Amino acid sequence: MTVSNVTATPETIPVATCTAGVAAGGSTQLFCDSQLSHSESGSTLQFQGTELKKLLITVSSNGMTLVNRTEDVAYTSREINGPGCGVCTSASLTVTVPAT
């Protein structure tokens, strides 16, 4: 899977490359490489920060494109460690990979 930032020009710049594996219990687990601060949990990729506005998600398997969609990025801000501990802003992207 490739996640790309869609710029205003509109140019696409890859920001993450992920592979899907199988976690304990048989669920899907993403393993991603990115220069941006991020985390993976199951099939969810979460970016920290607010620089991304629109993403192009491309999922391929055996040379075939399974998913090719563009999504606007929606951010949430919250104090994850309780009131007065600082606000964290992030966006999450959940990808459902179709069976091949």
Tell me which amino acid residue 54 is: K
What is the domain extent for residue 75?
Answer: 2-94
Q: In this predicted structure, what is the pLDDT of residue 46? A: 82
- Does residue 65 sit within a domain? yes
Integer Cα distance of 25 and 77 in angstroms:
32
- What pLDDT shows up at residue 97? 63
Residue-wise pLDDT tens digits, 6-29: 988 889 999 999 888 887 788 778
The pLDDT, as a whole number, for residue 98 is 60
Contacts of residue 91, defined as CB under 8 A and 6 or more positions apart, other chains included, come to 46, 47, 50, 52, 73, 74, 75, 76
Question: What's this model's pTM, rounded to 2 decimal places?
Answer: 0.72
> Is residue 23 in a domain?
yes
Identify whether 28 is part of a domain: yes
**Is 78 within the bounds of a domain?**
yes
- Mean pLDDT, range 49-53, rounded to an integer: 79
58/66 Cα distance (integer angstroms): 8
- State yes or no: pLDDT of 100 exceeds 60: no
Residue 38 lies in a domain: yes
Look at residue 99 and tell me if it is in a domain: no
Looking at per-residue pLDDT, the higher value among 100 and 98 belongs to 98
**52 lies in some domain:** yes
In a domain, 100, yes or no: no
Structural domains counted in the chain: 1
